[in-house]
Structure 1
Amino acid sequence: MGLSSYRGLHRVMSKSVCIVGAGPSGLVAAKTLLHNAPKGQFKVSVFDSQAAIGGLWPTSKTDSGRLVHPLMVANQSRHTVQFSDLAWEDSAPQFPRAWQVGKYLEQYQSRYLNGHPDYELQLKSRVAKAEKRNDGSEGWKVLIKSESGEESRDFDHLIVATGYFGKPIIPECFKNANTSVPIIHSSQYRDLKGLLGKGREKGGKILIVGGQMSGVEIAGTVASHLSAAVNSPEESEIAGIDKYSIYHAIQKPIWVFPLFTSPEPTFSSAPFAPLDLGSYNINNRPRPLENTQGHISEEHANMVHTIFETSLGDQEQFSSLLMPNDEERNQPAYLAVSDWYTEFVRSGMITLSFGKVVSLENDLVTLDDNDAQIDEIAAVILATGFDPSPCIEFLPQDVLATLQHSPRHYNQALALAFHGTHHPDVPNLGFVGFYRSPYWGVMQMHARFIADLWSNQTGDLPDALQRKLQADQSIRRTLSLRDNPRLSQFPMGDYMYLMQEFSEALSIPMHESIMPDTPTLSRNNLPLDTLTPSRYPSPSDDAAAKGEAEKSLKQTRDLSIECLTSPRFVARGVFRSLLGEWRLERDLTSRLPSHPSGKFVGTAQFLLRERTSEGLQCAADPNSTVSCDEDGGEDLEYLYIEDGEFKTTSGFGFRATRRYIWRYDSKKDLISVWFAKPDDQKRADYLFHEIEFESPPPGDNKRRENEGWKAKAGHLCIDDYYNVKYEFAFNKVNLKKWSIEYTVNGPKKDYTIHGTYERI
């Protein structure tokens, strides 16, 4: 397959392009062909079987018919979930929900495609078949089925932008299982009621099958829903809700990253930033970048495990099954993203079981690990991935054979050239985003590559592109990796490496630096310099599109500086890490003879639930910054319960308990503590105080390594003033210890309370 296969394809000025799919890949392909190729070169028709654009991504909170739940939070931040030519609004959350991603796509279409004379969009229109035209034109005859019937149309080019999620993979042991237990795929899960129905008084075990990204995410999500139902002030509609638990069957350890991680994991007062700001820091890796995915050697596997452990710490504190042993450290490392999973494992709401499920009989599951069994199964959620073959079933068999389609290799179904973009023996067929874990920057680069490849009028490709095509080994690499026992988690390519490859092929230089010389990270004395799609604006973009890239780069730069020099997102890191149970010791020193001094020893629980409305509209402080509108802030909170024994210095003891409600407002990046109602202690009464984190000492890394985050608060209770001081000390991304001190002064009170919380 030489370069001659690429030449002589384009002799007509105006070329028609059929794009299959109106998700992010289809939209960015259309925009790129219409705005970045020579004007008038392409006429674009986009077809999608759904009633709205977006693909996987719903476009409203109630759009529940997609593969992605509308309220699901993206596991990459908006700095990665973006195209270079459209910045997110400044007010958008760092990790948008799925419906907000859909709105972003609507905005993208509105800005670049709606009203364009060469753009056509047909929804509720499925491309059923595409065949090569027999008129010698190398074009395509495409059959489209819609509500109005069938239509056959001719196109010069065809782009597959269908995504990689064809149909859920259902393991054989579940296809014809002898059971009445409900079995669903993780993409079908919406809520507990939809899974369990009315429930059953005896409760049971919700089994999650699959230990990679989606398995961890869905287990953490179901656990948060279960915790919310159990700890809600309202009675659940599901019978026996407090008797349900989650069992997660995994086959290897997996490193679980929260959405916000620390660029300085050795600091006790660790700063926090969206996880991809650190993981895509170009100053972490020598350049030119090398591909870290594919075949993983033992040496490389050990190195990656060490990097993950440096970021996250020892996961054995949650479960021994999450921490790789020496032998497992020689195997490729796997990661997942979830804010709540690990702490729910520690608390026992999620129980890990090692092994592959081999059978389900009635409500009994058997694993292949020494025939271990799990009984009383109430429901099964399969987080077993997707088969991409239905996404390409409209292509003719001879074309699929040329692409070496292999239905059993779900991760590498096609053998395509230059990182998943095309095949030189099938002219005028392109692929955009047919890539497992399709980071948006790679989708956009796919589109630019296809536009450059198809735009050439003379048949002579630019030198840089020719050199890359001559050296390309993508097809051979894919075939060699298909049955490789040491295959990486994301074998289709290292994101940062792929961006570099496309940058060089397309002569789109990376914006060299978006950061000033300071602040720097302690590990290498270099700035946190994150690779984002906006580092690669197209030279053919107009001024407005380039302006969007500059706006996006400024957002990333400003946020990076803020995360390293201020307590931004520390409240969120603290709030996430409070989940679960703590050992509490509290000393009370009274300076009034009417109030005894003494010591409290007991436990404190932070029980996660959906945010309740009580108290928000009537904060005690009229100047409070707590968000009171339903759409403001985070939609989760904690019911705090402490219980133990208080002994006075005179030896008298009694049982003591108290409750609060802790809330986090993501818009204000603020934790607030609320009193519980005396007559209904699951409900909030009125505001106690808001926690204000202090800025870290500039440049004093030694102090930050040894001292936790300082915070303060205040509260006036009639005539008595509560002066509150906190300190939160992290070990990597998790709280290891924290303390609170109250000094209370007033006409009736004069005492100090100092409490220390440590993990049980």
Structure 2
Amino acid sequence: MVPPKKVAIIGAGPSGLVTAKTLLHSFPEGTFIPSVFEKNHRIGGLWPAGISSHGGDQPQINPWIRTNLSRFTVAFSDLAWESVVGEEELSMFPQARQVGMYLEKYAGLYIPKGVLRLGKEVVRTVREVDGVGGRWTVQWVSKRVDGDGVLCEGSEVESEQFDYLVVTSGYFAKAHFPDIPGLASVADKVVHSSEVQTTNGVQQLLERTGSKGGKVVVIGGSMSGVEAASTVALNLSTMDFRPPVVQSGREFEVHHICSRPFWTVPTYLPHTGFQDTKDSQITQFLPLDFVFYDLARRPPGPVEYNLTPLSTQQIRKSNAYFRSLLGDDYAKIGSFGIDSNENDDPQPPWIAIGDDYAEYVRSGFIKVTIGRVSSIDSSSTLTITLPNSEQQTISDITAIITATGYTPFSALSFLSPSVLSTLEYSTKDPFLPLILDGKGTSHADIPDLGFVGFYRGPYWGAMEMQARSLASTWARDSGPYFSHEQLLQRSTERDFLRSLRSNNQGSHRSQFPMGDYIGLMESLARDLNIPRAPISTNDPDSNPNPSPVIPSRYIPSPFLTHNPEDRLSTLVDRQRTSTLQSLQNTIIPGPSNYNLGMGNTIFRALHGAWKYTRTITTTTMSSSSTTSIFPTTPHPTSPSSTTTTTGHATFHPRRTSSPGYEKEYVYDEIPTESLKSKTRSIYRLVEGTWSKTNGQILIWNVDMDPYHAGSFSHGVIVGLAEEKDEKAEVGMGRYVVRATAGGIPIQRERAFEPRYEYVFVLEGVSVVEWVCLLRERVGGGGGGVVVSRTVYTR
């Protein structure tokens, strides 16, 4: 009988937990005995389990920030979000605190408490070679929390031997500050982007500098740069629209400096490929991961994992795809440094996710420069080297935010120099600090050492697949060996990674060295003989395997101990079924499918300034007369009067002024003929499913207090997008979205209910024109009707 294999797992974040679960439950009982070492006194890594957490020195994500991928991708295959969060709070993009709750639920279901060794910091590992494999001695110190909640390290070093070691200690171990000449001379003005995850963090930064204005500079592209610049812009906008207004946000400027061309992408994107309908094609706005991880985007046949640098043709094709997907209007404000490279040898653009960033650029709150910061002098003047080698300066700097990511180096400190040497460890390359094979899971020369989630962009499905790949190799009775063909394949994979590393300063290195998520999932599933589960539809002729790629579509069968009646097998099957049913309800329109993505898209795209023309018609008319947003033939009416006004309207973003709402605008409307006749409303975006009745966009009148919502006006219930509409006279590449009012309070004393109708014309992800029609009956049953039709354009 083969004795159980002892496995030490370093880190209790998502990758550590899924590794432990896989070792425990994907093989016959007793195959593995895992132990998870975690230096903090809680699980979850960067993900907090509540609003505040104690007992750890590792930085955490702001509990209220939302994930930038949907709950279907930020999940494991065997735990549905519906089992963690109640329906009233269930959102497409969970908050970080909810992700922490998810991980706690996951550990409670699948990992016995004895497996988790919390408060144990691994300080050293020693590998002793024994035949084909080796033995690992793991050394750690215990951390305890005293009565005041202060962490204290134990002085005694403990140790234990294991057959295998898995590094799951994370890629985001320590904040990285760039090596810019002169940066240290202005250290009192410099913070890392992790310190300004909230508007309160931004306010504290501005108060610390004591400045009454000036420039806030964000250095660094990718995700964190866009997020930091947007957070600062929201804080500055709020300063003008929340009492007491002691200083205008317009006294500051936000400058974002990025060394690479990039696209900023909103969280919901248009997609037409998942429906069953044959007669008409309806465009939905779905989470961006549904669109990007759509198998239909890959060529027919088996999907291969792509690890090679991008060619010029691929880069141009990618830019063309984004331009067609997002639309020309959005491309003007959401792409940076792209066009200037198209005729030469273009760099692969970076992708950043942000709902508000592009509109802040349109409104002037954020100014973008593509270039590298070459120096900073003591008088707070920053010099930028542009792509054409010219130089540009920014002076009067109030604060500098380095959105330059994290380094993984401290997460590898427990590995010995000889092991790191075999792994070709380099502190000069935070993108590729190690050269690994097995799709990032191992190195053929150290087969008893594994890695899970150790690369930029550790999507949860990829972590799970990596854990399965390691476990399946180690479960073999004969030991972790590879065939000659497998060794050649792994050697070739390492060669590809070396070429990417040597191209560190070159123009064809992509943002994420292992960013081919679809290829990684599909190729690992094929290696492990895991079938991709179909998504059932009502159309027998439809694609039997519609996308997107999500973890719950990849579960080994049979899952557990070769006993289909096993309680845990039943649990896994129930969780996967719940997730796949929820996915089907999301991607296939139906009477019960609330169009969450469209409401979010409309609200996001209203941000900023508009011109409007309003026509008000007062008519004494018969009960059969009607008025629509796009009138065709006039109806016979009694005498009427018509007036037309023009003006400007602006949606100003601010921090939500009342709990329970996702985002908020202050809407100001100023007529051209009377600049003092300002009208103000408050628009709020609601997340979650409870907004089905009232609408996802809720509107309040502003009464006496100009800063607070007064009486509720109505909600906006948004429909699906139609690609063609003869009345609206829009062409291909544009969508028409109709909306009606919800939650209108009936004014019983006047015996009428105002009727609102909306039509939004979208180009890509931008609203380029929209119409609001309000019809009210006046004078009781024998009176007339006042119709207000307002057309908004950019």
Cα shift readout 1:115-138 (whole Å, capped 9, x = no counterpart): 4xxx42222221111011377771
| Counterpart contact for 1:357–1:365, Cα < 8 Å | yes
**Superposed displacement of residue 510, structure 1:** 1.5
How many positions carry a matched residue from both structures? Answer: 713
Q: Identify the residue that residue 307 of structure 1 maps to in structure 2.
A: 321
Separation in structure 1 between the aligned mates of residue 756 and residue 544 of structure 2, nearest angstrom: 37
CA contact (8 A) 2:182 2:376 kept: no
Of 395-404 and 417-426, the range deviating more from structure 2:
417-426
8 A contact 2:260–2:347 mirrored in 1: no
State the Cα deviation string for residues 626-667 of structure 1 (Å, max 9, x = none): xxxx4x4x3321110011235xxxxxx785321111112112
Determine whether 1:359 maps to 2:381: no
Cα gap change, 1:519 to 1:566, in 2 (>3 Å): farther
> Offset at 1:513?
4.2
Residues 268, 729 of structure 1: 8 Å contact kept: no
Give the match's secondary structure for 2:42: coil
Structure 1 residues 594 and 515, CA gap change in structure 2 (3 angstroms): closer
Between stretches 219-228 and 711-720, larger displacement belongs to 711-720
**651, 655, 680: which one aligns with 1:610:** 655
- Counterparts in 2 of 1:659 and 1:526: CA distance versus 1, 3 Å: farther
Provide the rounded CA distance (Å) in 2 between the counterparts of 1:458 and 1:37: 16
> Does residue 733 in structure 1 map to residue 762 in structure 2?
no
Aligned to 1:534: 552
**Residue in 2 aligned with 1:710?**
738
Which of 154, 166, 189 lines up with 1:148 in the alignment?
A: 154
Q: Deviations over 1:50-95 (max 9, x none)?
A: 2211111111122396342222211111111111111111732110
Alignment TM-score, normalising by the size of structure 2 = 0.84
Alignment counterpart, residue 72 of structure 1, candidates 47, 58, 65? 65
Task: Name the structure 1 match of 2:360.
Answer: 344
Q: How far is the alpha carbon of 1:299 from its aligned partner? A: 0.9
Q: CA RMSD in A?
A: 3.1
Distance 1:328 1:689, change over 3 A: farther
Between 1:172-181 and 1:105-114, the stretch displaced more is 172-181
Superposition map of 1:47-66 within 5 A: 47-63=37-53, 66=59
1:217-256 Cα offsets, whole Å, 9 max, x none, are 2222322233233322x326x8564522211012233111
Contact 2:722 2:737 in 1 (8 A): no
Residue 332 of structure 2, aligned match among 317, 328, 332: 317
Out of 308, 331, 334, the position equivalent to 1:294 is 308
Q: Which whole-Å CA distance do the structure 1 matches of 2:209 and 2:480 have between them?
A: 66
The CA deviation string for residues 531-574 of structure 1, in whole angstroms up to 9 with x for no partner, is 10111112233232132122211111111113898644211111
Give 1:673 deviation, angstroms.
4.5
CA contact (8 A) 1:268 1:708 kept: no
Name the amino acid aligned to 2:45. G
**How far apart are 1:442 and its partner, in Å?**
0.8
For 1:624, the equivalent position in structure 2 comes to none
Q: Distance between the aligned counterparts of 1:170 and 1:198, measured in 2?
A: 20
Structure 1 position 260, deviation (Å)? 1.1
Give the secondary-structure state (helix, strand or coil) at the position aligned to 2:707: strand
Aligned CA distance change for structure 1 residues 469 and 532 (closer, same or farther; 3 Å): farther
In 1, the alpha carbon distance for the partners of 2:322 and 2:455 equals 24
Q: Deviations over 1:497-523 (max 9, x none)?
A: 011121121111222444454897xxx
Point out where structure 1 has 5 or more consecutive residues left out of the alignment: 1-10, 614-629, 647-652
Pairing of 1:150-299 with structure 2 (within 5 A): 150-173=157-180, 176-179=183-186, 181-190=188-197, 191-197=201-207, 200=210, 202-232=212-242, 234-235=243-244, 241-264=249-272, 270-286=283-299, 287-299=301-313
Taking the aligned partners of 1:252 and 1:730, their CA distance within structure 2 comes to 29
User: Could you tell me which residue of structure 1 aligns to residue 687 of structure 2?
Assistant: 666
Please tell me the residue identity of whatever aligns with 1:313.
G
Cα 1:293–1:187 shift into 2, 3 Å: farther
Letter in 1 for 2:317: M
For the residues of structure 1 that align with 2:723 and 2:311, how far apart are their CA atoms? 41
Q: Deviations over 1:684-704 (max 9, x none)?
A: 111111223345679999999
Matched, 1:123 2:118: yes
- The one-letter code matched in structure 2 to 1:499 is M
Alpha carbons 2:685, 2:698 under 8 Å: kept:
no
Q: Provide the C-alpha distance between the structure 2 equivalents of 1:381 and 1:749, rounded to a whole number of angstroms.
A: 59
Instruction: Identify the residue that residue 756 of structure 1 maps to in structure 2.
Output: 791
In the superposition, relative to structure 1, how do residues 707 and 506 fare at CA in structure 2: closer, same or farther (>3 Å)?
Answer: closer
Aligned equivalent of 2:623: none
Match of 1:330, SS state, is: coil
Shift of 1:261: 1.0
| Number of the residue aligned with 1:441 | 461
Distance 1:220 1:68, change over 3 A: same
The one-letter code of the counterpart of 2:494 is: I
Give, in angstroms, the shift of residue 177 of structure 1.
2.8
Shift of 1:716: 4.5
**Quick one: structure 1 residues 333 and 198, their matched pair in 2 at CA, closer, same or farther if it must change by over 3 Å?**
closer
> Secondary structure at 2:617's aligned position in 1?
strand
Task: Quote the Cα distance in structure 2 between the aligned partners of 1:71 and 1:53.
Answer: 18
Q: Which SS does the other structure have where 2:442 is aligned? A: coil
What is the CA–CA distance in structure 1 between the aligned matches of 2:715 and 2:281, rounded to whole Å? 22
CA distance in 2 between counterparts of 1:14 and 1:671 reads: 54
Q: 331, 345, 353: which is aligned to 2:347?
A: 331
Asked if the contact 1:277–1:528 (Cα under 8 Å) also holds between the matched residues in 2, the reply is no
* Cα separation, 1, equivalents of 2:449 and 2:68: 31
Once the two structures are TM-superposed, the CA of residue 371 in structure 1 deviates from its matched residue by: 2.4
Task: Answer yes or no: is 1:552 the counterpart of 2:552.
Answer: no
Q: Is residue 177–residue 359 contact of structure 1 (8 Å, CA) maintained in 2?
A: no
Identity of aligned residues (%): 32
Task: Provide the rounded CA distance (Å) in 2 between the counterparts of 1:658 and 1:404.
Answer: 64
Look up the equivalent residue of 1:504 and give its one-letter code: R
Give distance in 2, aligned partners of 1:247 and 1:580: 19
Correspondences of 1:501-516 after superposition (within 5 Å): 501-516=523-538
Residue aligning to 1:723: 755
**Aligned partners of 1:697 and 1:335: how far apart in 2?**
28
* Structure 1 Cα separation of the partners of residues 650 and 540 of structure 2: 40
Q: Aligned in 2, Cα 1:410/1:695: closer, same or farther, shift over 3 Å?
A: closer
Q: What is the DSSP-based 3-state SS (H/G/I as helix, E as strand, rest coil) of the residue aligned with 1:208?
A: strand
Q: How has the CA–CA distance of structure 1 residues 276 and 206 changed in structure 2, closer, same or farther, with 3 Å as cutoff? A: same
Q: Report what 2:494 is aligned to.
A: 475
Matched, 1:19 2:9: yes
The structural deviation recorded for 1:427 is 3.2
Give the Cα–Cα distance (whole angstroms) in 1 for the partners of residues 344 and 704 of structure 2.
Answer: 53
Question: Residues 255, 397 of structure 1: CA spacing in aligned structure 2 closer, same or farther, 3 A cutoff?
Answer: same
Once the two structures are superposed, what CA deviation does each residue of 1:91-117 show, in whole Å capped at 9, x if it has no partner? 3211011111111100100000134xx
Q: Choose 223-232 or 305-314, whichever is displaced more.
A: 223-232
- In the alignment, the residues of structure 1 paired with residue 484 and residue 790 of structure 2 have an alpha-carbon distance, to the nearest angstrom, of 67
Q: Secondary structure at the match of 1:80?
A: coil
Question: Equivalent residue of 1:750, what SS?
Answer: strand
Tell me, yes or no, if the aligned pair for 1:268 and 1:704 is still in contact at 8 Å.
no
Which letter does structure 2 place at the counterpart of 1:299?
Q
Contact 1:291 1:494 (C-alpha < 8 Å) held by counterparts: yes
What corresponds to 2:589 in structure 1?
562
The 8 Å contact of residues 270 and 283 in structure 2, kept in 1 or not, is answered as yes
The residue that corresponds to 1:495 in the other structure is: 517
Shift of 1:268: 12
Q: SS in structure 2 opposite 1:743?
A: strand
CA contact (8 A) 1:589 1:752 kept: yes
Comparing 17-26 and 59-68, the one that deviates more: 59-68
Contact 2:698 2:715 in 1 (8 A): yes
Report the secondary structure of 1:711's partner residue. strand
Deviation at 1:466, TM superposition (A): 8.4
Partners of 2:316 and 2:327 in 1: CA distance: 15
- Checking the alignment, whether the CA contact within 8 Å between 2:284 and 2:720 is kept in structure 1 is no
Relative distance call for 1:316 and 1:570 in structure 2 (3 A) is: closer
